[in-house]
């Protein structure tokens, strides 16, 4: 599974990545976690608000920090 976090390094973007890392670690869940910081790539994916999270290429969340519980649901944990 590939999880992408889109953002420009803002506080909310960092919090999103941290929440995902906590969920992965606490549940011993293996996934490739990738940060996408290039504005051109973010725009090409159609993301207008960050932070955003994509799972296996599908954007699931945009414009807000997901809760750890929400991340677990998205990952099927």
For 21-62, the pLDDT digits (tens) are 999 999 999 999 999 999 999 999 999 999 999 999 999 999
Give the percent of the chain with pLDDT over 70. Answer: 100
What domains are defined for the chain? 2-75 (3.40.30.10)
The catalytic site residues sit at 10, 13
Contact 45, 17 (CB under 8 A): no
76: CB partners within 8 A, 6+ apart: none
pTM comes to 0.93
């Amino acid at each position: 599974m590939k999880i992408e976090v889109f953002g420009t390094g803002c506080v909310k973007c960092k919090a999103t990545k941290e929440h995902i890392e906590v969920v992965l670690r606490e549940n011993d869940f293996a996934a490739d976690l990738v940060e996408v910081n290039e504005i051109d790539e973010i725009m090409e994916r159609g993301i207008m608000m960050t932070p955003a999270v994509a799972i296996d290429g599908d954007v699931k969340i945009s414009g807000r920090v997901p809760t750890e519980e929400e991340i677990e649901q998205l990952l099927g944990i």
